[in-house]
Chain A
Amino acid sequence: MPPDIEAVAEQVFAALADPTRRAILAALASGGPATATDLASRLPITRQAIAKHLTLLAEAGLVTAEPGERRRVRYRLRSAPMQVAQQFLAALARDWDGALGALRDHLDQSAG
């Protein structure tokens, strides 16, 4: 197993566990790249709190900082870590117990 995958998934879930960070990520997903000021105008959170969370999210690789207009830093969602977390969820969501139960019922019901 690659050594990093667990750390990547853990950072995604840690980020998503916090309601403010969830709101920031959701805003970037729905509205595209934004500055801390943009986000402060859309979310009921202070600009300072948003900036603090954005720094944290950037360090975790969940958003990337890029130069925006008037020297403001814009933040963009990075989808790669999210896709790692989705793999984890896919394993949890794979319902082999349900499928094998359905196979058993199917075999018991069909003649021969």
Chain B
Amino acid sequence: MDSLHAIGFYVSSGVSLAGGLGVALLTRRGWRGAALGLVGLGLAGIYLSLSAGYAAVVALVCFAGCALMFASPQYRRVDAVVGPLWRQLGGVAAALLLAVLAYSAFRGDFAYASFYGATFGTANLGRLLFAHDALATEAVAVLVTAALVGAAAAWRARDRAR
């Protein structure tokens, strides 16, 4: 990996982690949406430096969609009934998870293999998605369809109830 790729990887990693912290800590929905877009931008950069160009494009589009949904004026808030003690326990659990995953990552240099793929490799990815693993692609397609139909039905029911 050349130095340009390395710089791109570390800058993108910083951008995506900063965006992740913003999503966790920012309170205004507009800022939260912008932070989610920042995560998508950093994630696309990480994928690009990992020679996964097509995944970068898909991640950018998906995170832009998520950011728009969170920043939209149609956004409604639903307050949780969970007390502050459980939230603090959840924060501690997230810190413990980070420690465990970081330790696992530190022990992750056990394997190295040369990569022979192209930066985009769209044709090979298409073959995998629609021929080799068509069932997984169809399962995600069903999930997307069900989610969109469910979301549309929920919005229509809310509008009718007004």
A and B assemble together: no
Interface residues of A (CB under 8 A from B): none
Interface residues of B (CB under 8 A from A): none
